[in-house]
Amino acid sequence: MESFPRLFSPFRIGSMEIKNRIVLPAMETHLCDKDGFVTDEVISYYRERAKGGAGYVTVENISVDPEGRINDGMMCIHDDKYVDGLKRLADEVHKVGGKVVIQLNHAGKEALKFCTGVAPVAPSPIPSPLTRTMPRELSAAEIGEIIKRFADGAERVVRAGADGVEIHMAHGYLVNQFFSPETNKRLDDYGGNTDRRSRFAREIVEAIRDGVPDGFPVICRISADEYTDEGLKLEESKVIAKILERAGASALHVSACNSSSAVYNIPCYYLEEGCFVHLAAGIKSVVGVPIITVGRILGPEMAEKALKEGKADLVSMGRALIADPHLPVKAKDGRLDEIRPCISCNRCIESIIERKLICTVNPFIGKEWEIEKMPQTKPRRVLVVGGGPAGLSAAATAGERGHKVWLWEKGADLGGRYRYATMAPKKENMGKFLDYLVRHAKKYTEDIQCNKEATAAAIKKFAPDVVILACGAKDEFVNIPGTTGNNLFDVKDAFNRPDALGENVAIVGGGPEGCELGDFLLTRGKKVTVIEMRRMLGIGLVAHPRFHVSERLKKGGANILMSAKVVEVGPGFLVINKRSEGNERLDGFDGIVMASLHKPNKDLAEALDGIVKEQYVVGDAREGRTALEAVAEGAEAALKL
């Protein structure tokens, strides 16, 4: 019996028949080349998600105009020369039984001059909140030309053999800029009331509809609420939705936010699951075309709930399908424990700003096809030392590749330092990912032993062919007078024994660990002071969670001291220096938590020289690592075997 009957029921948008209600939404991957052409990595990425069972995949926002590229990682469709690559992509998706929709976009004032070579354009000369660049106001003639570019792009989508087209009208890009009273101050027929501000979008839909076959899906992605004081709200977006329906839209993909509200746009772990579903329900109440919902929908349970309650017809699961492209197949088969969970850390979003898409929990992005074609090697006897994220990732990957794997962990529990990250408020999915790593490693290893210390002598006796060393870092307090002999706590001790800290706690270091520990202690009723020598809290976190954890600390009543360097520590006191203000003594602390330096731990690697022929050092043992880097390095080492 199927656990999610609505989620896995077939559906139709226009002429496109899809096998279930799961949508991979358009998300930039930066896997194309710098000129916007499709690459093998792009094809591998989308093919794998189609193969994994998504109802249809949406190929990321593709530029209809070379002057509308947001960066050099944005794919292009403004010329016929791009059609062949897109056709190859569509063909590969079709070969594995998938359907593909291609999204068209113009970034407007968010386009970057370093990429386009020209000043960005917009409905009105209002600077971008992200780039601070002043755009040039479009003339009526230029608006007509951009409408034609969208129509030409849609015609190329048809020629590429795609199953549908989506127009990006959300998230602060050009069409959204025309919709919004916050960014459209025009006095002509493209500005003013809702109907006139919608004219640009309406004419795009009408032009596309005139040029594509009857029934060809034309989907519009909108921000139903911009989450800004002057921006669009749901009630006005209902009016816009009806305008788009009358113009010929086949479906509406309901999202939220613009560039000014970007910290909410891709909701991180501090925001609730399904946080935009109510917007889809509002739009669905006034139109008859299918509605697609989005907004931190991480698993099939939330997706099924949205469909069952009639709030949407289809469900976008973007980051969840980055994390595990096979989520649909696994959910349909009832293999929920095998789904690799998205942790909503937004490292994927951060990664595409400067490089290609990466994911904390999935180290194989864009390499899926390459890995699938890798020849099987002769099984080898592999010992993994250390049961943190790097070690667990290495063990599971090596075992899955057919090697015989053992894992030794000197501590009582698996998870390493990452275990403490799972204890902070709102990070339940981090715990789910750790549970997944442990289950996955146990499935593919011969044996996992905790409380088992790996010495050179023990490893020599065990006689592995390969050793993967993931034995963690050497943690040392920052060298400040008074750090010895004053009963200080490190972050690990503080999470494990919060009651031992007393009621008034100082945290020296406002990086990710310090901020999350402060949040953790505030929820336990403690008085918290965070001292950070830099000008910003949470450096090392992605912008979205950094904003939210900083707000949580402020609202929770934490005393936050920025640009303050601790120069001395003593029993219950700290001395800080705030540059021009000189030194200040802070007294009355029951417990002081000191940030630690995570130094490479290569002692065992050096001891094994001449004993083991092949060894790899990964994760914190190699250098201080984030969970993303640790998981990736563990997997990469295993793939080399």
Mean pLDDT, range 495-501, rounded to an integer? 95
**Of residues 102, 14, 99, the one with CA closest to residue 53:** 99
CA gap 85, 563 in Å, rounded: 51
- Looking up tokens 């601070």, which residue turns up? 132
Mean pLDDT, range 536-563, rounded to an integer? 96
CA gap 193, 239 in Å, rounded: 11
Query: DSSP secondary structure string, 403-414?
Result: -EEEEEESSSSS
Give the pair of three-digit tokens for residue 558: 């934490």
> Which tens digits make up the pLDDT trace of 550-570?
999 999 999 999 999 999 999
Give the pLDDT score at 334.
Answer: 95
- What residue type is assigned to position 414 of the chain? L
Give the pLDDT score at 602.
Answer: 85
Mean pLDDT, range 167-190, rounded to an integer? 98
Could you give the residue ranges of the DSSP H alpha helices within 170-266? 174-179, 194-197, 199-211, 234-247, 262-265
Q: Taking the CA atoms of 528, 533, 536 and 542 in sequence, report the sign of the dihedral they define.
A: negative
pLDDT at 282 > cutoff 60: yes
Give the pLDDT score at 35.
Answer: 95
Task: Tell me what percent of the chain is helix, strand and coil, each rounded to the nearest 5.
Answer: 40, 20, 45
Give the pLDDT score at 461.
Answer: 96
CA gap 624, 629 in Å, rounded: 9
* Residue 396 burial by Cβ neighbours in a 10 Å radius (0-12, 13-18, 19+): buried
> Which tens digits make up the pLDDT trace of 509-520?
999 999 999 999
The model carries a pTM of: 0.95
CA gap 101, 24 in Å, rounded: 10
pLDDT at 248 > cutoff 50: yes
3-state secondary structure at position 476: strand
Give the pLDDT score at 369.
Answer: 85
Q: What is the torsion angle, in degrees rounded to the nearest 10, for the CA atoms of residue 623, residue 627, residue 630 and residue 633?
A: -120
**Of residues 390, 408, 409, 406, the one with CA closest to residue 464:** 406
CA gap 154, 583 in Å, rounded: 64
Give the pair of three-digit tokens for residue 619: 């994760």
pLDDT at 377 > cutoff 90: no
Asked if 52 and 87 count as a contact pair (C-beta separation under 8 A), the reply is no
Helices (H), strands (E): how many in the chain?
Answer: 24, 26
CA gap 77, 64 in Å, rounded: 5
pLDDT at 284 > cutoff 50: yes
> Which tens digits make up the pLDDT trace of 134-151?
999 999 999 999 999 999
pLDDT at 628 > cutoff 50: yes
> Which tens digits make up the pLDDT trace of 65-77?
999 999 889 999 9
- How sure is the predictor about 363, in pLDDT bands with cuts at 50, 70 and 90? very high
Mean pLDDT, range 56-67, rounded to an integer? 97
Mean confidence (pLDDT) of the chain: 95
**What does DSSP assign to residue 397?**
H
CA gap 97, 506 in Å, rounded: 57
158: Cα within 13 Å, side-chain hemisphere: 18
Counted residue by residue, the chain has a size of 641
Mean pLDDT, range 264-291, rounded to an integer? 97
Q: What percent of the chain has pLDDT over 70?
A: 100
CA gap 327, 323 in Å, rounded: 9
What lies within 8 Å, CB to CB, of 165 at 6+ separation is 101, 102, 103, 104, 153, 154, 157, 158, 208, 212, 216, 217, 218, 219
CA gap 535, 510 in Å, rounded: 10
**How many CB atoms sit inside 10 A of residue 149's CB?**
22
What lies within 8 Å, CB to CB, of 512 at 6+ separation is 538, 540, 541
> Which tens digits make up the pLDDT trace of 202-231?
999 999 999 999 999 999 999 999 999 999
Mean pLDDT, range 3-8, rounded to an integer? 95
Mean pLDDT, range 452-469, rounded to an integer? 96
pLDDT at 1 > cutoff 50: no
- Looking up tokens 């000191």, which residue turns up? 594
pLDDT at 581 > cutoff 90: no
Q: What percent of the chain has pLDDT over 90?
A: 88
**How many CB atoms sit inside 10 A of residue 377's CB?**
12
Mean pLDDT, range 288-298, rounded to an integer? 98
Classify the phi-psi angles of 192: left when phi > 0, otherwise alpha if psi is within -120 to 50, otherwise beta. Answer: left
Give the pLDDT score at 3.
Answer: 86
CA gap 96, 89 in Å, rounded: 11
Give the pair of three-digit tokens for residue 606: 């050096």
Give the pLDDT score at 2.
Answer: 60
Asked if 624 and 595 count as a contact pair (C-beta separation under 8 A), the reply is no
- Looking up tokens 């579903």, which residue turns up? 277
Partners of 18 in the β-ladder? 11
What lies within 8 Å, CB to CB, of 67 at 6+ separation is 111, 116, 118, 120, 121
Give the pLDDT score at 601.
Answer: 85
**Of residues 308, 307, 327, 329, the one with CA closest to residue 319:** 327
3-state secondary structure at position 11: strand
What lies within 8 Å, CB to CB, of 459 at 6+ separation is 383, 385, 467, 608, 611, 612
> Which tens digits make up the pLDDT trace of 589-621?
999 999 888 888 888 999 998 899 999 999 988
- How sure is the predictor about 292, in pLDDT bands with cuts at 50, 70 and 90? very high
Query: DSSP secondary structure string, 345-374?
Result: --HHHHHHHHS----SS-TTTT-HHHHHHP
Give the pLDDT score at 114.
Answer: 85
Any idea which residues carry the catalytic annotation? 173
Describe the strand order of the beta sheet including 565-570 as a list of residue ranges. Answer: 565-570, 573-577, 583-586
Give the pair of three-digit tokens for residue 104: 């068209």
Give the pair of three-digit tokens for residue 352: 């595409």
Planar angle of CA 221, 227, 229, nearest 5 degrees: 130
Q: What is the largest CA-CA distance in the chain?
A: 82
> Which tens digits make up the pLDDT trace of 230-241?
999 999 999 999
Could you give all domains of the chain from N- to C-terminal order, each with its CATH number?
Answer: 11-369 (3.20.20.70), 374-473+600-639 (3.40.50.720), 476-598 (3.50.50.60)
**What does DSSP assign to residue 580?**
G
Give the pair of three-digit tokens for residue 111: 């386009």
